[in-house]
Amino acid sequence: MRNLTLSALVVIASSATASVALAQDVAAGKTSFNKCLACHAVGEGAKNKIGPVLNGLDGRKAGTVEGYSYSEANKNSGITWNEAEFKEYIKDPKAKIPGTKMAFAGVKNEKEVNDLWAFLAQYDKDGKTK
């Protein structure tokens, strides 16, 4: 029984450590977003650029930002953006949506992906932080 309890504690401690290691950091996400600034905007007053505005990304259907000309692949992807969809997409956009116009190699670092999501998810559709 003692070994079972000790084993359970090791598993719990390992899980907690992994969770802390992947904790989302909005400030780090803002820094990571600098890679996106040439094409995307976020926040109050954001306008479409080469890519669409990323305000209100969480829960938004892909290909629906008004005034932005999306690829057919993006419009027809069937994606509704959420944390899991974004994280898969940002690692390799062309693999997630073949035919997308997004010319970006992707973000491969798991912590950076988590931080970037935390930064973007804080903005509502009007660019205000939640």
Q: What is the pTM of this model?
A: 0.80
The rounded distance, in Å, linking the Cα atoms of 34 and 29 is: 9
Q: With H, G, I as helix, E, B as strand and everything else as coil, classify residue 69.
A: coil
Q: With H, G, I as helix, E, B as strand and everything else as coil, classify residue 126.
A: coil
Torsion of CA 126, 129, 103, 66, to 10 degrees: -10
The type of residue at 107 is: V
pLDDT along the chain (130 residues), means of 10: 45 42 82 97 98 98 97 97 98 97 95 98 96
Q: Which residues contact 121 (CB under 8 A, 6 or more apart)?
A: 57, 58, 83
The rounded distance, in Å, linking the Cα atoms of 37 and 46 is: 11
Give the position of tokens 């944390």: 83
pLDDT score recorded for residue 16? 42
pLDDT score recorded for residue 2? 54
The type of residue at 54 is: L
pLDDT score recorded for residue 24? 81
Kindly list the structural domains of the chain, giving each domain's residue range(s) and its CATH number in brackets, ordered by start.
25-121 (1.10.760.10)
